[in-house]
Amino acid sequence: MKYSKLAEFYEEVSSTTKRLEKIDIVSKFLKHLDNKEVMYLLLGDIYPEYDERRIGISNQLAIKAISKATGTDSKKVVQEWKAIGDIGKVAEKFTLHKRQSTLHSHILTTEKVLENLRKLPELEGKGTVGKKLSLITELLTSATPIEALYLVRTLIGDLRIGIQESTIKYGILKAFFKNNKDYEYKIQQAIDNTNDLAIVFEIAKKGKIRDLEKVQLEIGKPIKVMLAQKVVKIEDGFKALGTPCAIEYKYDGFRLIIHKQRNKVILFTRRLENVTKQFPEVVEYVLKYVKGDSFILDSEAIGYHKKTKEYTEFQSISQRIRRKYDIEKLQKDLPVEINVFDILYYNGKSQLEEPFKKRTALIKKIIRNHPYKIIHAKQIITGNIKKAKEFYKKALKDNQEGIMMKNLNATYKPGRRVGNMLKIKPEERDLDLVITGAEYGTGKRSGWMSSFILSCRKGNKYLEVGKVGTGIKEKSEQGVSFEELTKKLKPLIIKEEGKKVWFKPKIIVSVTYQEIQKSPNYNSGWALRFPRFTALRIDKPLSEITTLEEIEIDFKHQKKNYRYG
């Protein structure tokens, strides 16, 4: 397939903000698509979501490639980038006026694009930058202006066409099943089970819904985790879920999805990253204390003090997720306990469609509890408000975030924020937001970025809700520092204007705040009053940050509390 056809699709689908029009454009494109691998490119990727390999090209390398491919001085490329703020548009502009000879250029195909892009994550060691530059330049030299635009956006992971997995799901439904709404759930189920749009597309193209029904979970292929909605009071939880319901600790740790097949254990984060090597003791616990030939468990890893056995906050153990060296020392200094609260698969059979009461009973049956190693989540099943509140107090006393309330008859819904699983935390308000901008500091913060702009999510857009500087440390030994955040954010710069900088959304932080106010100063229409940084959330994907809708709901709760509290 010519890459120009895909670029035309990108242009057409990004030309409208209307959801139904986007679905119609996707549907028409899919009807004529023969190469299933192109499905990854539709979302700006090169592999299925569960695959850890990513393109990972920085803006700086993209600038070098544009410069080399178009014969333009790199300083001019940077200057244009700062003015436009979209490096893809810069590539388009200079490709239109490129002076370099194109005698050796070829017509680009999606196969060639995938071939070159898939070589990028494999390159390591000496000369890597040069090899990557060569692969990218080869594509850009052959690219038309519109192809260059989307090639560069794909390279830096910022496609900007406004489609999501759900858009493609409805496109498949319309293209191959005549928009029959009875089949929507089956398509979603297949996506949930595979986490691979190419496989779902390939099966759906044949038009046989029963083949989609055969798609099952696989050990070693991580799927997205189910997410909870918020409620303020236990009474609200009972009202939404009915009684009795399961109440569990809401742990202050990080999600760990455990896969086991015979004697092999693989550990994944909620971002679908393989962290098996970082947690050798967890592999040992699973093999020793969990019965079953094959299973997938949903759990939370929490830290505790070696001597006092008191549970610690997420931030104290977060470094274990990314560190690949000194593992033995880290597991001694920062031990974790695994708390299993759900099961997705057991001995050859998916548990996703089973009711939670059956899944939680199975967990208790197969796990031999060993405190400070691996246990099933602390839980009560009750409809009694007094007992629920006592359990809530106990969770807080044990240094956990709060409680989870779960409908006993609910199935497991991967990747969705569902109303049959609710979280309750103390009134101190907190949000997970992404940093999209900052200003360079002055005085003792000179050279560092400070006053970080925070954004929430609305669909594919990120809307500003405030700035934070409080809670970030001056010295790295005291915690997350301005210097550390500056280092993490510098490679993500997409635009600079004096002391102000804007970033590709990637770095997620937790903040507390006093209240939410209406504000014309931020494009969300809201502002956080007195936000304070509390944690760097390297374990969370962008899909899980706070949404604009959630901020509006929190504002309504806040008003209600003022009125009646």
Q: Check residue 427 and give its pLDDT.
A: 62
| Residue 415 shares a structural domain with residue 481 | no
Domain boundary among 424, 450, 472: 424
Domain final position from 391, 424, 457: 424
Rounded Cα gap, residues 108 and 112, in angstroms: 7
Q: Are residues 130 and 265 in the same domain?
A: no
Structure-derived torsion over alpha carbons of residues 502, 506, 509, 510, reported in degrees to the nearest 10 = 120
In a shared domain, residues 246 and 198:
no
- Length of the chain (residues): 565
**The pair of three-digit structure tokens given for residue 237, joined into one six-digit string:** 């939880």
Q: Are residues 43 and 138 both part of a single domain?
A: yes
Long-range contacts of 423-426 (CB under 8 A, 24+ apart): 423/228, 423/229, 423/230, 423/231, 423/250, 424/230, 424/231, 424/232, 424/233, 424/234, 424/237, 424/250, 424/392, 425/230, 425/250, 425/401, 426/396, 426/402
CATH of the domain at 517: 2.40.50.140
Instruction: Record the tokens describing residue 149, joined without a space.
Output: 């635009």
Residue 335 domain flag: yes
Backbone conformation region of residue 71, classed left if phi is above 0, alpha if psi is from -120 to 50, else beta:
left
Is 218 within the bounds of a domain? Answer: no
CATH number of the domain within which 109 lies? 1.10.3260.10
Please give the model's pTM, rounded to 2 decimal places: 0.84
Tens of pLDDT, residue by residue over 19-29, are 999 999 999 99
Look at residue 41 and tell me whether its pLDDT is greater than 50.
yes
Domain region containing 194: 165-213
Let me know: does 396 contact 402? Beta carbons within 8 Å: yes
Number of domains in the chain: 4
Closest to 230 in 3D by CA, of 442, 544, 462: 544
Q: What's the first-to-final CA gap in the chain, in angstroms?
A: 63
**Boundary (domain end) residue, out of 156, 177, 196:** 156
Shared domain check, 490 and 545: yes
Mean of pLDDT values over 421-426:
91
* Three-class secondary structure of residue 250 per DSSP: strand
Question: 3-state SS of the chain: helix, strand, coil percent to 5?
Answer: 40, 25, 35
> Which residues have C-beta within 8 Å of that of residue 31, sequence separation ≥ 6?
175, 176
Task: Quote the pLDDT of residue 301.
Answer: 97
Q: Tell me whether residue 223 is in a domain.
A: no
Note whether 448 and 329 are same-domain residues: no
On whether residue 65 sits in a domain, the answer given is yes
How far, in Å, CA of 443 to CA of 460, rounded? Answer: 37
Provide the annotated active-site residues. 250
The predicted structure's pLDDT at residue 551: 92
Binning pLDDT at 50, 70 and 90, where does residue 100 land? very low
| Residue the block writes with tokens 């299933």 | 36
pLDDT of residue 560 exceeding 80, the answer is no
Residues 198 and 280 in one domain: no
CB of 450 closer than 8 Å to CB of 499: no
CB 499 within 8 A of CB 439: yes
In percent, how much of the chain has pLDDT > 70? 97
**Lowest-confidence region among 99-108, 148-157, 444-453, 530-539:** 99-108
Q: Is the dihedral of CA 324, 326, 327, 332 positive or negative?
A: negative
**What does the pLDDT read at residue 385?**
96
Regarding whether 327 and 203 lie in a shared domain, the answer is no
Statement to judge: residues 126 and 206 lie in one domain: no
Average pLDDT over residues 377-401: 95
The answer to whether position 224 is within a domain reads no
- Mean pLDDT across 149-175: 94
Per residue in 450-495, pLDDT (tens digit) is 899 999 999 888 999 999 999 999 887 788 999 999 999 998 888 8
Whether the CB-CB separation of 285 and 374 falls below 8 Å is answered with: yes
Residue 565 has pLDDT above 70, yes or no: no
CA distance 327 to 320: 8
Residues 6+ apart with CB under 8 A from 329: none
The Cα–Cα gap between 550 and 554 comes to 6
Cis peptide before 505 (omega within 30 of 0): no
Same domain, 352 and 291: yes
Residue 222 lies in a domain: no
Could you read off the pLDDT of 246-260 as tens digits, one per residue? 999 999 999 999 999
Looking at residue 104, its pLDDT comes to 52
Does 277 lie in the same domain as 179? Answer: no
Question: Do 202 and 116 share a domain, yes or no?
Answer: no
pLDDT of residue 400: 93
Look up the CATH number of the domain holding residue 375. Answer: 3.30.470.30
In the beta sheet, which residues pair with residue 138? none
Q: What is the mean pLDDT of residues 326-334?
A: 89
